[in-house]
Amino acid sequence: MIEERSFNVEESGVRLDAALLARFPSSTRAFCRDAVAEGLVSVNGRPARKGDKLRAGDIVEVKALLEADDNRVRPDRSITLAELFADSALLAYDKPAGMPVQPLTHSETGTLMNGVVAHHPEVAEIGDQPLMAGALHRIDAGTSGLVLVARTQQAFDSLRAQFAEQTVEKTYLAMVEGAVAVGGTLEHDLAHTPGLPYCKMGAWRSMRVTEAERAKLKPLHAVTKYRPIGRSMLQNQELTLLEVKIFTGVTHQIRAQLALAGMHIVNDRLYGAFAVENEVGHRLHALSAKFRHPVSNDEMEIRTQLPAWAQSD
Identify the CATH class of 2-70: alpha beta
- pLDDT of res. 313: 58
> Which amino acid belongs to residue 24?
F
∠ CA 59-60-64, nearest 5°, is 150
Burial class (CB in 10 A: 0-12, 13-18, 19+), 267: buried
Report d(CA 112, CA 114) in Å as an integer. Answer: 5
Using the 8-state DSSP alphabet, how is residue 135 labeled? B
Report d(CA 202, CA 259) in Å as an integer. Answer: 9
> Which amino acid belongs to residue 226?
Y
∠ CA 10-11-12, nearest 5°, is 130
Report d(CA 202, CA 189) in Å as an integer. Answer: 8
Task: Name the superfamily (CATH) of residues 83-165.
Answer: Pseudouridine synthase (3.30.2350.10)
The residue among 279, 254, 278 whose CA lies nearest residue 264 is 254
- pLDDT of res. 170: 96
- Note down pLDDT in tens along the chain; length 313 residues: 899 999 999 888 899 989 999 999 988 888 888 899 989 999 999 999 878 899 999 999 999 988 877 888 999 999 999 999 999 999 999 999 999 999 998 889 999 999 999 999 999 999 988 899 999 999 999 999 999 999 999 999 999 999 999 999 999 999 999 999 999 999 999 988 887 767 788 776 677 767 777 777 888 999 999 999 999 998 889 999 999 999 888 999 999 999 999 999 999 999 999 999 999 999 999 999 999 999 999 999 999 999 999 997 5
User: Under the phi-then-psi rule, with left for phi > 0, alpha for psi from -120 to 50, and beta for the rest, what region is 110?
Assistant: left
Rounded to the nearest 5°, which phi and psi values hold at 163?
A: -65, -45
* Other beta carbons within 10 Å of 191: 23
Give the DSSP letter string of 163-201: HHTT--EEEEEEEEES---S-EEEEEEEEEPTT-SS--E
Using the 8-state DSSP alphabet, how is residue 175 labeled? E
User: Edge to edge, what strands does the sheet with 59-65 contain?
Assistant: 2-8, 59-65, 41-43, 46-47
Contact 243, 171 (CB under 8 A): yes
Domain residue spans of the chain: 2-70, 83-165, 170-282
- pLDDT of res. 248: 87
Report d(CA 75, CA 29) in Å as an integer. Answer: 25
Tell me the torsion sign for CA atoms 244, 245, 251, 257: negative
Burial class (CB in 10 A: 0-12, 13-18, 19+), 278: exposed
Identify the CATH class of 170-282: alpha beta
Side-chain-facing half-sphere of 257: CA atoms under 13 Å: 26
Report d(CA 221, CA 304) in Å as an integer. Answer: 27
Strands 41-43 and 2-8: unpaired
Rounded to the nearest 5°, which phi and psi values hold at 59?
A: -110, 120
Do domains 83-165 and 170-282 share one topology? The answer is yes
Report d(CA 52, CA 17) in Å as an integer. Answer: 8
- pLDDT of res. 204: 67
For residue 201, what are the β-bridge partners? Answer: 192
> Which amino acid belongs to residue 47?
P
